[in-house]
Structure 1
């Protein structure tokens, strides 16, 4: 799962959450995404860097066949979502 900051300004993602259809949620902790940068959120276990963060879960939250991930900010407001697989609108963004 990738999150891209399209603005020129950095965004403080502290307290932002990424959740799947089953309600499993990853919450960013003291993470700042630079302007025009992308961070990849991995479900496995690894060392967090500026470009990659890990949920430290042994099992994969998002399967590759289909799913939806929802990004919310620290005020629980909907920011964006991405769907893939059977939904038929890969990478669809609601505005």
Structure 2
């Protein structure tokens, strides 16, 4: 007859050594995900630095506000679009910092 201690001491989970690869595989996946996250953040920061400080539609709106003029909605198709030129490239921008 089994005592209470023997019943509680039984291993009902099978062989615990068969999952020996789970720890190293989990570490590997964490390192891969961490590396991918760092690379994506660096790429995003590089692309954000290339953006101009103001886009042409915003620039014309602020200039018109300073002059006291009203500016139409740039998404409205009836208003002529501002064609002041393309946004400057990264080598054309001069930022302090």
Greater radius of gyration (CA):
2
TM-score, normalised by the number of residues in structure 1: 0.18
TM-score, normalised by the number of residues in structure 2: 0.18
